[in-house]
Amino acid sequence: MRDKIQSKVAKAFNTKLADAITTFTCSKEIQSGEFDFETQTYPTVTVEQYSGRGVFSSYKRDLVKPIDYQVEDIKATVLQNEVDGVPQIDDVWLANGQFKVLNVGKDPSGSIWVCQLRKV
């Protein structure tokens, strides 16, 4: 079921929804190790990157909105198999501007991420 949903949505992204698709990238630092209070840093910092594409729309017509919803927030619907990472809260996406991820959810089939974004 998951593969069928992803293939049909990907086909729509390439054809009927092609003009509504937005690509995005995310690059974030992951700090690990024991915190050094003297230098106020972590010893290991790695950079994790992921990207994808999806439909960015508004919540204005949705009946169910996130608790911390604001009128200018954006709802991003992206295919999980096209995102080479897992979106997390506080990630910053570059897509026609900068957007901070406030909420991340997925559909019951595990094929689509639904993210609440706010312009930074």
φ/ψ bin of 101: left (φ > 0), alpha (ψ from -120 to 50), beta (otherwise): beta
Q: Domains in the chain, start-ordered, CATH in brackets?
A: 2-119 (2.40.10)
pLDDT > 90: what percent of the chain?
44
Q: From CA 19, how far away is CA 9, in angstroms rounded?
A: 14
At residue 88 the predicted structure's pLDDT band, cuts being 50, 70 and 90, is very high
Residues 64-84 pLDDT 10s? 777 888 888 999 999 898 898
The confidence score (pLDDT) of residue 25 equals 95
The confidence score (pLDDT) of residue 59 equals 84
pLDDT > 70: what percent of the chain?
100
Report the pLDDT averaged over residues 16-32.
90
